[in-house]
Amino acid sequence: MIAFPCCKINLGLNVIARRADGYHDLETVFYPIPLCDALEITEMDEKFPSDVACDLLTKVKTAGNGEEAESWEPLCPEQKNLVVKAYNLIANDRKLSRVHAHLFKNIPSQAGLGGGSSDAAAMITLLNEQFSLGLSIEEMERYAAKLGADCAFFITSRPAYATGIGDRLSPIGDAADILHGYYIALVKPDIAVSTGKAYGMITPRRPAMCCKDIIKLPVSQWKGLLTNDFEEPVFTMHPELGAIKERLYTLGADFALMSGSGSTLFGLFKDCPQGIEEAFPDCFTAVIKL
């Protein structure tokens, strides 16, 4: 059984308050983007000589100098991969057969695109189907939220207004179609931002206007209104990121912003943008019609 976990961008992100548990309350709109990993699970042969209940092979797509390379390499120690963590979480409560998992990584890591969280959510939904666990969407979202603050969103990957630590989701109604027909350019340089460190550099505040209301305006009016609180501290640490955002505007974007805690910048274009790959030669780039 196979799934294609997508990634997300944040349409605005306001860090509102620091909580007693060290986490932060935020408000953001999660918007799914069809740049996907592939995750396949197959049941393990009874005779497979292993103590491991879920073994994982990861194929990472890496780009460099205009060439694409693929290699079977662990992204991180297997037991730390969110796909294996998702299996272990469900296996704690339900009887599961042992499985082989094959993960093809197409979504860049440490990018603010939620790729790992999406893979974990896909594992939960795959296990639910493969083993007829009968879990409801809400039950799967509750499991997912235990694995990462933005993981619950990826159970359905429907555009959503998120509050709490990113785990309280509500649909955004008609605004869900707002980007239909737009082109998105994703640009991710080879810079890793620590999410925890970035949160620590923000002074929380309540915004004048909530991002779910701003996105009801035409995209051409979002500039200056729809903001990401991570940009200020992260652009200070890495000025190259601010420069990429400016370049996206020069290339004709109606709107550009950093996604999550970075380091991906995205630009929204009415017409298919030209020259993105050439403009950012040392970065991962993708142009996708929404």
Ligand X SMILES: Nc1ncnc2c1ncn2[C@@H]1O[C@H](COP(=O)(O)OP(=O)(O)O)[C@@H](O)[C@H]1O
Binding site for ligand SUD (CB under 6 A): 10, 13, 22-24, 26, 28, 112, 114, 117, 148-150, 165-166, 195-196, 199, 260-261
With CB under 5 to 8 Å by kind, the binding choice for 244 among ligand SUD, ligand X, none is none
Is 8 known to be catalytic? yes
Q: Could you say whether residue 83 binds ligand X (CB under 6 A)?
A: yes
Residue with tokens 């869900």: 176
- Give the binding range for ligand X (CB under 6 A) out of 23-31, 111-119, 166-174, 237-245: 111-119
Count the residues of the shown chain that bind ligand X, applying the rule CB under 6 A: 17
With CB under 5 to 8 Å by kind, the binding choice for 26 among ligand SUD, ligand X, none is ligand SUD
What are residue 144's phi and psi, to 5 degrees? -60, -40
- Give the binding range for ligand X (CB under 6 A) out of 78-86, 139-147, 173-181, 183-191: 78-86
- How far apart CA 46 and CA 215 sit, in angstroms, is 52
Closer CB to ligand X, residue 76 or residue 137?
76
At its nearest, how many Å lie between ligand SUD and the CB of residue 106?
Answer: 16
Q: What would the DSSP string read from start to end of 220-262?
A: GG-TTTS-BTTHHHHHHH-HHHHHHHHHHHHTT-SEEEE-TTS
End-to-end CA distance of the chain: 26
With CB under 5 to 8 Å by kind, the binding choice for 109 among ligand SUD, ligand X, none is ligand X
Two tokens, residue 140: 């799967």
Q: Could you say whether residue 152 binds ligand X (CB under 6 A)?
A: no
Residue from 9, 54, 60, 75 in contact with ligand X (CB under 6 A): 75
- Give the binding range for ligand X (CB under 6 A) out of 62-70, 74-82, 203-211, 221-229: 74-82
Is 143 strand, coil or helix? helix
Query: Which of the residues 37, 119, 150, 167 is marked catalytic?
Result: 150
- How far apart CA 126 and CA 2 sit, in angstroms, is 7
132: preceding bond cis by omega (within 30 degrees): no
Is 150 known to be catalytic? yes
Q: Could you say whether residue 28 binds ligand X (CB under 6 A)?
A: no
- How far apart CA 159 and CA 169 sit, in angstroms, is 9
Closer CB to ligand X, residue 120 or residue 219?
120
Two tokens, residue 157: 């990957």
Residue from 10, 14, 28, 117 in contact with ligand X (CB under 6 A): 117
- How far apart CA 241 and CA 264 sit, in angstroms, is 8
- How far apart CA 40 and CA 102 sit, in angstroms, is 5
At its nearest, how many Å lie between ligand X and the CB of residue 107?
Answer: 7
Residues facing 184 on adjacent strands: 268, 288
The angle subtended at Cα 128 by Cα 126 and Cα 129, nearest 5°, is 65
Report the interface residues with ligand X, using CB under 6 A: 75-76, 80-83, 109-117, 119, 260
- Looking at the annotation, which residues are catalytic? 8, 150
